[in-house]
Amino acid sequence: METLQWNDSLSVGLTEIDNDHKKLVEMLNALIVASRDDTERTRIGKILDDLISYTSWHFRHEERLMQTYRYKGFMAHKKEHSGLIEQAGSLQQAFHANQAEITSEVLGFLQHWLTNHILKTDLELGTFLQQKLSGPAA
C-alpha cells in the first residue's frame, strides 16, 4: 500500500487543524510503512496506539472549536469522530490480543476515512471557522 502524501487539496484553511492533519497523515504513513516492512509486532502496536491517541486528542481539539464557535454541524461531526474512535479502539484491542492484524484492508480503510473526513466534513468546518475568525464579532 502506498503512503498518503499531504498536499494543498487536503488543507481546510486553518493552520492549527492543518498541522494536526499533517501529523495524522505522518502517523498513518508510519503505520503503513511498518506494516509493509514486516516491522516487529510490538513496534506496530506502539505506532497504532500513538495514532489512535493522537486522533482522539485531535477530535477533542476540533470539538472544542466547534463548541466555542457554536458550529451547527457539531453533533453530526462528533458522531463521525465517535464512530471512528470506536472502530479504531476495537481494532486496537483485537491487535493487542493477537486476534487481528494490520492488513492492507485496514490501512486502506483508515486512509480512506481520513481523506474523506478531511475533504468533506473538516473542509466544511474549516470554512465555517475561517468565517468566524476573520469576520465581525457576532
The pLDDT assigned to 39 comes to 85
The pLDDT assigned to 105 comes to 93
Which H or E element spans position 28? helix 15-36
Give the integer Cα–Cα distance in Å for 96 and 42.
9
**Statement: the pTM of the whole predicted model exceeds 0.85:** yes
The pLDDT assigned to 136 comes to 66
Contacts for 32 with CB less than 8 Å, ≥ 6 apart: 1, 2, 3, 4, 107, 111
Give the integer Cα–Cα distance in Å for 125 and 12.
8
The pLDDT assigned to 53 comes to 97
Angle at 124 between CA 14 and CA 86, to 5 degrees: 95
- Going by pLDDT thresholds of 50, 70 and 90, the confidence category of residue 137 is low
What DSSP line would sit under 75-131, residue for residue?
A: HHHHHHHHHHHHHHHHHHHHHHTTS----HHHHHHHHHHHHHIIIIIIHHHHHHHHH
- Tens-digit pLDDT profile for residues 17-67: 999 999 999 999 999 999 999 889 999 999 999 999 999 999 999 999 999
Please indicate whether residue 27 or residue 137 has the higher confidence score (pLDDT): 27
Phi, psi of 70 (to 5 degrees): 55, 55
The percent of residues above 90 in pLDDT, for the chain, comes to 93
The percent of residues above 70 in pLDDT, for the chain, comes to 97
Give yes or no for residue 1 having a pLDDT over 90. Answer: no
Give yes or no for residue 113 having a pLDDT over 70. Answer: yes
Give yes or no for residue 11 having a pLDDT over 90. Answer: yes
- Going by pLDDT thresholds of 50, 70 and 90, the confidence category of residue 81 is very high
Q: Which domains does the chain have, with CATH numbers?
A: 13-134 (1.20.120.50)
Give the integer Cα–Cα distance in Å for 101 and 104.
9
